[in-house]
Structure 1
Amino acid sequence: MYYRKIIIALAGLLAGNASFGQAGDTIRLTLPEAWHKAEAYSRQIEITRKASAIAKEEIKDARMERLPEIKMSGSVEKASNMPIYENGLFSPHTQQHEIIHTLYKAGADLYLNLYNGNKLNLKIEESKLLHQLTEIRRDETTSDIRYQTAALYLDLQKSQIFRKLIIQDISDQEKQLREIRSFQQHGVVLKSDVLRVELELSRRKMALVTIENDILVAAQKLNIIIGEPDERIVMPTEFEQEQVAGQSYEDYLASALHSSFEYHLSEKQTEISRVHLRQVKANFRPKLGLYSDFSYANPQIFLFPYNPAWYSLGVAGLKASIPLSELYHNTHKVSAARLELEKEEVAHKDTEDKVRQQVKEAYLRYKESLVQIGVAEANVAHAEENARIIRNAYFSQTSLITDLLDADVQLLQTRFELAAARIMAQNKYYLLQNIIGVL
Structure 2
Amino acid sequence: MQKTLTLLFFFVFKQFAFATPPSQNPLAPHVVPIDTVYLTLPEAWEKAELHSKLIIIQRKNTAIALAEYKDAKIELFPEISVKGTAEKASNIPIYENGLFSKPTQHEVIHTLYHMGAEFYQVLYHGNKFRLKIKEDKTLHQLSMVQENKMISDIRYRTASLYLDLQRCLLFKDLIIQDIADQEKQLIEIKHFHENGTVLKSDVLRVELDLSKRRMTLITIENDILIATQKLNIIFGEPDDKVITPKPLDQKKGENTSYEQYLEQALKHSFSYHISEKQTELSAINLKQVKANVRPNIGIYGDFYYANPQIFLAPYNPDWYSLGVIGVKATFPISSIYHNIHKVKAAKLELEKEEEAHHNIGDIVRQNVKEAYLRYQEALKQIAVAEVDVLQAKENARIIKNTYFNQTSLITDLLDADIQLLQTHFELASARILAQDKYYLLQNIIGVL
Q: Tell me the TM-score normalised to structure 1 length.
A: 0.91
Secondary structure, in 3 states, of the residue corresponding to 2:90?
A: coil
Which of 34, 53, 58 is the aligned partner of 1:43?
53
Query: Structure 1's 87 and 249: CA in aligned 2 closer, same or farther, altered over 3 A?
Result: farther
Query: 1:154, 1:412 → 2: CA distance?
Result: 20
1:270-289 alignment to 2 at 5 Å? 270-289=279-298
1:99-110 alignment to 2 at 5 Å? 99-110=108-119
Query: Structure 1's 93 and 50: CA in aligned 2 closer, same or farther, altered over 3 A?
Result: same
Point out 4+ residue stretches in structure 1 off by more than 4 angstroms: 21-25
Query: 1:56, 1:131 → 2: CA distance?
Result: 6
Query: Structure 1's 121 and 244: CA in aligned 2 closer, same or farther, altered over 3 A?
Result: closer
Which of 264, 268, 272 is the aligned partner of 2:273?
264
Which of 240, 258, 264 is the aligned partner of 1:249?
258
Query: 1:319, 1:210 → 2: CA distance?
Result: 79
* Runs of at least 5 residues in structure 1 that lack an aligned partner in the other structure: 1-20
Residues 273-308 of structure 1 show CA distances to partners (whole Å, capped at 9, x for unaligned) of 101111111122222222221111011122233222
Query: Do the aligned residues in 1 keep the contact of 2:80 with 2:117 (CA within 8 Å)?
Result: yes
Residues 82-132 of structure 1 show CA distances to partners (whole Å, capped at 9, x for unaligned) of 22335543344445x542222110111122222222111111111110000
Which of 382, 401, 409 is the aligned partner of 1:392?
401
Query: 1:137, 1:317 → 2: CA distance?
Result: 46
Query: 1:127, 1:28 → 2: CA distance?
Result: 44
Q: Does 1:230 align with 2:236?
A: no
Secondary structure, in 3 states, of the residue corresponding to 2:38?
A: strand
Q: Read off the aligned partner of 2:171 and give its amino acid letter.
A: F
Q: Read off the aligned partner of 2:56 and give its amino acid letter.
A: E
The alpha-carbon deviation at position 409 of structure 1 amounts to 0.6
Query: 2:396, 2:154 → 1: CA distance?
Result: 43
Q: Which moved more, 1:192-201 or 1:269-278?
A: 192-201
Q: Does 1:145 align with 2:154?
A: yes
Secondary structure, in 3 states, of the residue corresponding to 2:71?
A: helix
Residue number in structure 2 paired with 1:323:
332
Query: 1:24, 1:309 → 2: CA distance?
Result: 91
The alignment covers a number of residue pairs equal to 418
Which of 84, 87, 91 is the aligned partner of 1:74?
84
Which of 309, 319, 322 is the aligned partner of 2:318?
309
Q: Read off the aligned partner of 1:297 and give its amino acid letter.
A: A
Query: Do the aligned residues in 1 keep the contact of 2:252 with 2:438 (CA within 8 Å)?
Result: no
Q: Read off the aligned partner of 2:93 and give its amino acid letter.
A: P
Query: Do the aligned residues in 1 keep the contact of 2:371 with 2:440 (CA within 8 Å)?
Result: yes
Q: Which moved more, 1:44-53 or 1:138-147?
A: 44-53
Residues 224-248 of structure 1 show CA distances to partners (whole Å, capped at 9, x for unaligned) of 1111211112111135424343222
Query: Do the aligned residues in 2 keep the contact of 1:25 with 1:231 (CA within 8 Å)?
Result: no
Query: 1:110, 1:243 → 2: CA distance?
Result: 64
Secondary structure, in 3 states, of the residue corresponding to 2:372?
A: helix
Residue number in structure 2 paired with 1:52:
62
CA-based RMSD of the aligned residues comes to 1.9
Query: Do the aligned residues in 2 keep the contact of 1:242 with 1:425 (CA within 8 Å)?
Result: no
* Runs of at least 5 residues in structure 2 that lack an aligned partner in the other structure: 1-30
Query: 1:320, 1:180 → 2: CA distance?
Result: 104
Residue number in structure 2 paired with 1:378:
387
Query: Structure 1's 266 and 244: CA in aligned 2 closer, same or farther, altered over 3 A?
Result: closer
Which of 297, 302, 324 is the aligned partner of 2:306?
297
Residues 329-349 of structure 1 show CA distances to partners (whole Å, capped at 9, x for unaligned) of 222222221122112112212
Query: 1:262, 1:302 → 2: CA distance?
Result: 65
Q: Which moved more, 1:385-394 or 1:348-357?
A: 348-357
Query: Do the aligned residues in 2 keep the contact of 1:109 with 1:293 (CA within 8 Å)?
Result: yes
Secondary structure, in 3 states, of the residue corresponding to 1:343?
A: helix
Query: 1:22, 1:286 → 2: CA distance?
Result: 76
